[in-house]
Chain A
Amino acid sequence: MEQSLTSSPIRVLIAKLGLDGHDRGAMVVARALRDAGMEVIYTGLRQTPEMVAEAALQEDVDVVGLSILSGAHMVLVPRTVDLLHARGLDDVLVIVGGIIPDEDVPALQAHGVHAVFGPGSSTQEIVHFIRAHVRK
């Protein structure tokens, strides 16, 4: 694993948005980002958009990673992005993982999602994307 013993690590919020109870993917990503030298705040299951946006604000994260497999992403993800903007968190990188049909990706991106990582994405891909696009 690449190491980055920097004095200002990238902070990432990983949240399970909505009602599905499958968090293996979110945990694997959280672990990979930890090993890449990031500080990962893991919120656990069944988070509402309000909970995610408020946690992102209080934790002052650079990245919000949303994991969703329930099919409700077209409602919950845009709502989360809106709530982040409402709190003035305009420069936070928003990435989504889980089961997102290809045809939904452009709409999510148009609504402020920076990247979608579906099944088969490597954790290194996610690490590289974050390092390349995060503010600072």
Chain B
Amino acid sequence: MELVQAIIDGDRHAIARLITLIENDAEETRAMLAQLFPHTGRAYVIGITGAPGSGKSTLVNQLAKHYSALGRRVGVIAVDATSPFSGGALLGDRVRMRDVSDDPGVFVRSMASRGNLGGLARATPDVIKVLDAAGYDLILVETVGSGQLEVEIARTAHTVLVVEIPGTGDEIQSLKAGILEIADVIVVNKSDRDGAEHTAAILEAMLSIEMPRKRPPGPYAGYPHAANLLARLTEYLQREKGLIRDDASWRPRVVRTVAIRGEGIAGLMDVIEEHRQHLLATREWEARDYMRLLSEIEQALRHRLTQQLLCQVDLDHLVEVVNRVFTRRLDPCSAAEQLLCS
């Protein structure tokens, strides 16, 4: 396993190669990831999400530059959308990351979402592990431009920054479930624009009525049995491990920045550090790790089962079943049942 050792040694070419193999779901990566896994869990992962054009890449550029200047080894993973039509993608986040593009302390990788809908690529958690094992101790993960629901980053990062800009939406928007709920820090970027104060005030008002979060985001418990399992697991973590403590709830902060000019970045870094300290002091760090790994197991399981089932499907049978659904003689749910039992 030469490649594995090269990655632990921090060889950038090896890192890049393995990331490609992981993205392409190559068979041999499973064993390599298994070998790298004991070397992971050291990096601090910061997620950056928000609407397209809100300034996520520019903010990442600033953070990477400043952390690198402090001597941190910074990994950046920037996810952009894959076209549902061609399967191609235009990954443009590097355009805003000029300041770190030849900084030896920073490794930037652009990823296409490849059909994943949660704001990240399916391979993103594994790419984080590669950079973590390679010694990047701070990893910035930028999601695709997100609307309300691309909340996978909350399961992936220790600290989540949600980037907003002045003049988008009213109080009702700020009350809806989804992206604002996952924020540990809300960044009002482009704060030199009109309405920045108003936007910050609305967000602060929303936070003042926020209920404390009960447990870190884990797998989606949409099935009755899953909800039950998750509730029992949460109870176990509280009783046996002393995790998910009452004092772990964190009131998100609102920070104003003008990322393109570097304004507010020092203040933002102070708040990020405060959140990191909070995670450590309350052991929420471990709780999130537990839930993150649980989500990963669940996703791996889902992926494996889907693959396994698809391998068994016979094309003739599939065509026959789809035809019957198409002519309304069979409903999709019963069709799935038939394919499962064939």
A interface residues with partner B (beta carbon < 8 Å): 1, 3-9, 11, 30-31, 33-44, 47-48, 50-51, 54-55, 57-60, 87-89
Q: Does B194 contact A (CB under 8 A)?
A: no
**Knowing A1-B86, A35-B83, A35-B88 touch, does A58 contact B12 (C-beta < 8 A)?**
yes
Q: Are A59 and B90 in contact (CB under 8 A)?
A: no
Q: Are A58 and B87 in contact (CB under 8 A)?
A: no
**Knowing A50-B102, A57-B13 touch, does A38 contact B91 (C-beta < 8 A)?**
no
Closest 7 CB pairs of A and B: A44-B95, A60-B16, A8-B24, A34-B88, A5-B87, A37-B87, A60-B20
Q: List 16 A-B contacts (CB under 8 A).
A: A3-B85, A3-B86, A3-B87, A4-B87, A8-B20, A34-B88, A34-B89, A35-B85, A37-B87, A42-B90, A42-B95, A43-B95, A44-B94, A47-B101, A58-B12, A60-B17
- Report the Cα distance A38→B87, complex, angstroms: 7
Q: Are A36 and B88 in contact (CB under 8 A)?
A: yes
Q: Are B88 and A9 in contact (CB under 8 A)?
A: yes
- Report the Cα distance A63→B220, complex, angstroms: 39
Tell me which of B25, B95, B110 contacts A59 (CB under 8 A).
B110
Q: Does B321 contact A (CB under 8 A)?
A: no
Q: Are A59 and B86 in contact (CB under 8 A)?
A: no
- Report the Cα distance A35→B24, complex, angstroms: 19
- Report the Cα distance A7→B29, complex, angstroms: 15
- Report the Cα distance A75→B113, complex, angstroms: 37
Contacting residues, chain B, for A88 (C-beta < 8 A): 13
B interface residues with partner A (beta carbon < 8 Å): 12-13, 15-17, 19-20, 23-25, 82-83, 85-92, 94-95, 98, 101-102, 107-110, 112
Tell me which of A33, A40, A43, A87 contacts B101 (CB under 8 A).
A43
Q: Are A31 and B90 in contact (CB under 8 A)?
A: yes
- Report the Cα distance A9→B12, complex, angstroms: 21
Q: Are A44 and B98 in contact (CB under 8 A)?
A: yes
- Report the Cα distance A6→B115, complex, angstroms: 12
* Nearest B residue (CB) for A45: B95
Q: Are B86 and A36 in contact (CB under 8 A)?
A: yes
CB distance from B112 to the nearest CB of A (A): 5
CB distance from A10 to the nearest CB of B (A): 9
- Report the Cα distance A57→B87, complex, angstroms: 23
Most buried by A among B15, B16, B82, B110: B110
Q: Are A37 and B86 in contact (CB under 8 A)?
A: yes
Q: Are A42 and B94 in contact (CB under 8 A)?
A: yes
Q: Are B88 and A37 in contact (CB under 8 A)?
A: yes
- Report the Cα distance A35→B102, complex, angstroms: 29
- Report the Cα distance A6→B87, complex, angstroms: 8
Q: Are B91 and A39 in contact (CB under 8 A)?
A: yes
